């Protein structure tokens, strides 16, 4: 697995990471713990060094899972986790008060079975706490050796700039993929200017870009996609054109649609590190395989041309969640 650097401080991670949320939260019933541990360790064996979690995934159980799975190889991996929700519950709203940030970090260290968090993100911008105070709180944790690097998630360009003046931001984590390209307008130029890495979550469109989801697919009752407008049956039907185009490109490259979607992200900037999530070993290996696919300039032009005529249908978030992003 190739390595990439996030930020300007030599923070090196594998070119593709593993988003671990779906093992415990968000996409239906949690994966059996033994199987989840096996999947995480298989990722390590395949060269993945970058693992993403959060206190809110469960809450808490996802961090505990990573702590157990990665304990034997802790010195060989990079763990990213997040603070920002009251009591670790997304439904309880934001809480990025400095005292709370410290409480979350201390608790996360125990759950992760480690003495340091490599990358600590603010999960969502808290409108009630100045971002300078947030950055200052993480800066103090970094000075104490409890945190290695500071990150933001779904933050807007001005917030990123303000935070960066207090404590250098190593990485921004936000959604970015062939079916959500909003970051290209303002976020990517800002990150490039400031020397900040980008960690796209949902790089496979929450599974849609794999081609495994159709208008007739049903999701578990507690699957987040049930409330996402882009995953209504009507939107899924309309958006199949995107998957068909991706599939044709993948066939020509002797790859899968998921691999092309990930390879496209990797080709955008050398400081982009996607974190696809999965609960299946064969999908894990498929995703990792994307790191070895090289898209030529002509390939990228062909993809751009093919995609330019497609308008993706449906909002990526329901209104109440969309209000939390881009601040």
> Rounded to an integer, what distance in angstroms lies between the CA atom of residue 53 and that of residue 118?
12
Cβ–Cβ under 8 Å, residues 242 and 310: yes
Active site residue 25: no
Question: Per the structure block, which two tokens stand in for 250?
Answer: 């993948």
Distances (CA, A) of 164 to 118, 142, 230, 236, 316: 18, 14, 33, 38, 27
> Which conformational region is residue 155 in: left (phi greater than 0), alpha (psi within -120 to 50 degrees), or beta?
beta
Marked catalytic residue, from 25, 27, 57, 121: 57
SS3 at position 55: coil
Cβ–Cβ under 8 Å, residues 177 and 202: yes
> What's the CA angle centered on 113, arms 112 and 115, to 5 degrees?
100
Angle between helices 98-111 and 61-70 (to 10 degrees): 40
Length of the chain: 327
Residues known to be catalytic? 57
């Amino acid at each position: 697995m190739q390595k990439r650097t996030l930020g300007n401080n030599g923070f090196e991670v594998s070119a593709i990471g593993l988003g671990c949320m779906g093992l415990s939260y968000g996409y239906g019933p949690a994966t059996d713990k033994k199987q989840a541990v096996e999947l995480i360790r298989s990722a390590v064996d395949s060269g993945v060094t970058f693992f993403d979690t959060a206190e809110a995934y469960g809450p808490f159980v996802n961090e505990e899972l990573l702590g157990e799975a990665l304990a034997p190889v802790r010195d060989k991996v990079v763990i990213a986790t997040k603070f920002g929700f009251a009591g670790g519950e997304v439904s309880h709203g934001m809480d990025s008060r400095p005292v709370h940030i410290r409480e979350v970090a201390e608790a996360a260290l125990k759950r992760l079975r480690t003495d340091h968090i490599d990358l600590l993100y603010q999960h969502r911008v808290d409108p009630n706490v100045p971002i300078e105070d947030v950055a200052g709180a993480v800066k103090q944790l970094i000075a104490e050796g409890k945190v290695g690097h500071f990150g933001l998630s779904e933050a807007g360009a001005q917030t990123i700039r303000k935070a960066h003046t207090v404590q250098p931001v190593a990485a921004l984590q936000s959604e970015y993929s062939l079916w959500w390209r909003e970051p290209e307008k303002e976020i990517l130029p800002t990150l490039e200017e400031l020397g900040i890495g980008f960690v796209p979550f949902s790089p496979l469109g929450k599974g849609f870009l794999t081609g495994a989801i159709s208008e007739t697919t049903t999701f578990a009752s507690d699957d987040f996609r049930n409330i996402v407008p882009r995953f209504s049956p009507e939107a899924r039907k309309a958006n199949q054109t995107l998957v068909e185009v991706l599939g044709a490109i993948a066939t020509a490259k002797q790859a899968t649609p998921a691999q092309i979607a990930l390879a496209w992200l990797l080709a955008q900037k050398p400081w982009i590190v996607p974190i696809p999530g999965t609960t299946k070993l064969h999908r894990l290996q498929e995703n990792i395989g994307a790191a070895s696919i090289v898209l030529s300039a002509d390939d990228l032009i062909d993809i751009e041309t093919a995609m330019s005529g497609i308008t993706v249908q449906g909002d990526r978030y329901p209104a109440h969640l969309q209000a939390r992003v881009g601040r």
